Amino acid sequence: MSGRGVLITGASRGIGRALATAFAQQGDRVAVHHRGSPAPLGELPGDGHVAVRADLADPGAVRRLADEAAQALGGIDVLVNNAGVFLHHPVTDLTYEEWQAAWRQTLDVNLLGAANLIWCALPHMRPGGRIVNVSSRGAFRGEPDSPAYGASKAGLNALTQSLAVALAPRGIAVTAVAPGFVETDMTTEHLTGPAGDDIRAQSPFGRVARPGEIAEAVVYLASPAAEWASGAILDLNGASYLR
């Protein structure tokens, strides 16, 4: 088989879609994970791609996802943990039961789902493999109205750095990217609404990121040239938050 086998979660739209397209354009074979998109593959360039469906909050489904992707791709050379949920759950506005449910749902997908998929993908990865986790600016600046999201992404950063050390002896590099606002269908309501100008003004460039900009960074971190970046968390927020 030509190209590498690349498994990308949440790859049917938004950043994930841009990621799938970018890897496919360079000749890689992509396993497009989705939770129920009617046309997850779309018009990806090249061939050898496959759609794989799973609920990342279900550990059994995660294991089947890794095995199915590996079988279709002939192994997994690159894993990109991109899927995530973002729930509005201010601590002062919820019942105790609603608060617990928001935390469970967020952590099950954003952190535990990613951790479980890494475990399940590792038997299918060879030396030279790459794992890239899509984190968030919110891991550093906080998310007051969505605290579980910020905490899940902070946990994902810690997981990234822990596994960068643990997997280096196996020749596998682990990195993360931490975007700010990105122009996708999930953010359209915010960007076109009353708060849109304020959101764009967070960056001195006066705009938000394009999905392709995130994809280009991930493609580099997943490349053979980026082994020495292992353990890095790359901010992609247009200087809207500096640390």
Pairing of strands 130-134, 50-53: unpaired
Closest to 172 measured CA to CA, from 236, 111, 123, 216: 123
Query: Catalytic: which of 96, 149, 220, 241?
Result: 149
149 is catalytic: yes
Do 185 and 193 form a contact (C-beta atoms < 8 A)? no
Q: What span, in angstroms and rounded, lies between the C-alpha atoms of 183 and 24? A: 21
Q: What span, in angstroms and rounded, lies between the C-alpha atoms of 29 and 50? A: 8
Termini Cα distance of the chain: 42
Q: In what order do the strands lie in the sheet with 130-134?
A: 50-53, 29-34, 5-8, 78-81, 130-134, 173-179, 233-236
Residue 106 burial by Cβ neighbours in a 10 Å radius (0-12, 13-18, 19+): buried
Closest to 80 measured CA to CA, from 208, 183, 237, 215: 215
Give the residue numbers marked as catalytic: 149
